[in-house]
Amino acid sequence: MCEYCGCQSVTAIDELTREHDMVVNMIGDVRAAHTAGDVATMAESARRIAAVLGPQTESKTVSSRQR
């Protein structure tokens, strides 16, 4: 994601950028857990990722139904 054009001053873009960064970091947790063979941590990380992406997914699903 860029940080030089000023688009992050738009609230929606800023929120999406922060969510993206959070999920990228969480994916790192999943990879580390996978390498360690830690299934419980992989599952918990997946639930945390879903919690971050859930509202975004719901919003897009509602929008597509309204078309």
Asked if residue 5 belongs to a domain, the reply is no
Asked if residue 34 belongs to a domain, the reply is yes
Residue whose C-alpha is closest to residue 19's, from 51, 60, 66: 51
Asked if residue 1 belongs to a domain, the reply is no
Mean pLDDT of the chain: 86
- The domain total for the chain is 1
Residue 58 sits in which domain range? Answer: 14-65
Q: Give mean pLDDT, residues 17-28.
A: 93
Confidence of residue 44 (pLDDT cuts 50, 70, 90): very high
Asked if residue 31 belongs to a domain, the reply is yes
10 Å Cβ neighbour count for 57?
A: 10
Tokens representing 35? Answer: 């390498």
